[in-house]
Every structure is written in structure tokens, then in C-alpha cells.
Chain A
Amino acid sequence: MIKNVTIFTTTTCAYCLMVKKYLGAKGLTYDEINLDENPERQQEVLAISGSLTVPVTVITKDDDSNEVVVGYNLAKLAPAVA
């Protein structure tokens, strides 16, 4: 079961919009951290994902384990939120 979903985004990022639309279509709520508004959290993205890119989606399960999906990658995102 999913406890929480967090997406790191930037304002102009089209792929971020796609992830949000996908999660919305699945009826999932999420916390969004816009890195344009919160630049101090950019290093967190690197630490979590190993990448300096968005979108980065962090799916926290009930056991507090995290699954991280970098980019608009439905092949990984779909099973992660199933």
C-alpha cells in the first residue's frame, strides 16, 4: 500500500505535468515540491535519485520504504503506484 507520493518538479517541465496527470487519473494524491520555488531542495533530488533532473517521483510505501522513479517513465511508475 502507498503511504505517500512526492513529486519534485519545475514550473516549465512538460514531463512533470504528465506525471501529475497520470497520478491524478489514478486517483492518487501527491505532494509537489517545485524546485523553482524551493531551490534549496535541489540537492535532495540528487541525493534521492542520483540525478539532476525532473520529474522525480518518490513513492513511500506503508513500510516506509521508498521507490524512486526518474523522469516520465510509465514502465516504472505504473507498477510502483499499483
Chain B
Amino acid sequence: MADQTDIAKHDVIIVGAGPAALSAAIYTTREDIDTLLFERAVPGGLAAVTDWVDNYPGFPEGVAGLELATNLQKQAERFGAIVEFGEVTAIRDEGHWKRLETTSGAYLARAVLIATGSDYKKIGVPGEAEYYARGVHYCATCDGAFYRDKRLVVVGGGNSAVQETMFLTRFASHIDMLVRSTIKASEVLQDELQKYVDSGKVTVHLQTATEEIVGEDGKVTKVIGKQSDKRVEFPTDGVFVFVGLKPNSEFLAGSGVELDHMHLVKSDENLKTIVDGVFVAGDIRSGATMQIASAAGEGATAALKIREYLEGHAHPVQN
């Protein structure tokens, strides 16, 4: 076992600071459980970069994703949670303590909550990496403003693609949505989108696979697609990609935590992983429903299970 002296120790370390993590932190810190969160990007996770959230309970008119994320963080910090900016690169079970290797050094925790969520997937087509941030984007709330009165292509047909397409209509002159099969977004979102389709602002192209992003003189000029084996071209000034989520679980290699075939973390009904003292909540969990509301609920549940765990695993007697 590696030396554990002179290493920062906490009751709970939460990996991530999205809705599941912050919800868990609210619960643990209110019970005076010393809690540290590690976040490598933005507290609030994908919620923070979502334009508008209409299905989180308690907000009859909806709420801006950034505002919801900010308030979740404030609430957790109010009870003493600390959000450290950095990345956890490995977790090792050392019995009573779990060791976390991070970009700020090693830490020890009596319990760990994995709540790293997911990031937006890339399509994986030629031109996508070449034009990243110069015509290809993954964050509409960040970069939509650059496309005022310009044509856009949105790739994707799920909730995010539809939601962010509607956000982008504030700026773009026209949006072509390229949907590989059919639109999978919720009925409510599809009904809202229809208004933009009826007005001519958005055109939805079903059964259209995106094959290449093409540019000239350093600017994106068109997207090439395939529709029923026929090549199609979409002139455009920019491309926004919303083709699903990729779980942030690479750092769990060697930890003993079991992943499913989609690299999501397996757990039991108590949100425990196969590693004693390591729990999971939110989008990274196998079987999660990928909603902010359910992530928050899982975070709260995980916190209660962690409390039970800590009560049953008191500090070892120091001789």
C-alpha cells in the first residue's frame, strides 16, 4: 500500500460537479460530512451549457441552464462543499481509504462518488476536427452569436439537437437539421420545433447521414451528406453537432469499477459499484435516464447511501 501520510483526507470526494454531484454535496455537507468535489470543466456540467431547461421541477416557466447550474453550486457551497478545479486521473481502493490521483496531487477519501456525467460526442467525419471552433461547434450557447444572419447546419435528432436548433434560430437566417434516421426528441420539443419548420426558419432532413464537412480559405462552406444512398450538399456557414453523449469513464481504468458495454458505470440498487465505498450517480451510471431531474435525485440518493456507509465504516483506531 502506498504511503498515506501527509495526503489530504476527506470523508467523501465527489468526482464531477454536475447536477448529480452538487445534489449529493448538498446532502452530505448539510450532515457535516466533509465533502470535496473535483471538476475539470464547468460546475453544472452539460446543464450549464444548455440554453433553457423546461423540465426541471419547480420552474413553471423553465430556467436558463447556466442559472440552474450556478444556483446548484451556490447551494452546495452554502453548506460547506468545496469545488476544486482539476481532473481525477485514477482511483485505487486501499481498504479504509480510497486513493484518488488528480492533477493537483493525491487525495484520500473514505468514500467516493463517481458523478462525471458525459460530454457531447463527435460525429467522426472528415473536416470535423480541422474546422473545430472555426465553423464546427458543440456549444450553441457559447458560439451561436457568431452566426447572426448566417446559414447553419445542426447535426443530430435528439433532445439536445432540437433544443439547441431552436436556440440558434435567434441568430441564424436558416438552419438545416441533418437527422441520421428519425427525430428522437420528446413530443413536446418536436411540437415546438414544428413552429420553426412551418415558418421556414428550419428545414429537417430525415434519413440524412453527415459524411463530410468541407471548407475553403479556412471557413466552412458546406456539409456533404447521404440521403438514401444519394449524395446531398448543404451550403452553410457553420455546423453545430449534437449527436449524443460520451460517458466520462476513461479515468476508471484499473480502479476495479465495472463498466457496461457502453462504458457506463454499473451499480446495484443502492448506487454502489463493485468497489467497496465507491458509489455512482447521474449520467455516468448504467441505467440512468440522462435527465437533470433524475441526476439530482440520484445524487441525493447516493449521498444518503454514502452516509449509511460511513456510519458503518468508522475511522480505524489510531494507536
| CB atoms of A74 and B64 under 8 A apart | no
Tell me the residues in window 17-67 of chain A with beta carbons closer than 8 Å to chain B beta carbons: 17-18, 22, 35-36, 39, 42, 45-46, 50-55
- Per-residue CB proximity of B121-134 to A under 8 Å, as 1/0? 00000000000011
| CB atoms of B146 and A52 under 8 A apart | yes
Count contacts on A: residues with CB < 8 A to the other chain: 25
What distance in Å separates the Cβ of A18 from its nearest Cβ neighbour in chain B?
A: 5
Expressed in whole angstroms, the Cα–Cα distance for A73 and B313 within the complex equals 39
What distance in Å separates the Cβ of B220 from its nearest Cβ neighbour in chain A?
A: 10
| CB atoms of A10 and B137 under 8 A apart | no
Number of A-B contacts (CB under 8 A): 71
| CB atoms of A14 and B238 under 8 A apart | no
Expressed in whole angstroms, the Cα–Cα distance for A29 and B69 within the complex equals 24
Q: Which residues of B contact A51 (CB under 8 A)?
A: 133-134
Q: Which residues of A contact B145 (CB under 8 A)?
A: 10, 35-36, 39, 42, 54
| CB atoms of A52 and B143 under 8 A apart | yes
| CB atoms of A14 and B141 under 8 A apart | yes
Expressed in whole angstroms, the Cα–Cα distance for A18 and B49 within the complex equals 12
Q: Identify the closest chain B residue to A78 (Cβ).
A: B85
Expressed in whole angstroms, the Cα–Cα distance for A12 and B51 within the complex equals 7
Expressed in whole angstroms, the Cα–Cα distance for A72 and B235 within the complex equals 30
Q: Identify the closest chain B residue to A37 (Cβ).
A: B145
Q: Identify the closest chain A residue to B51 (Cβ).
A: A12
Chain A residues near B (Cβ < 8 Å): 10, 12-18, 22, 35-36, 39, 42, 45-46, 50-55, 70-72, 74
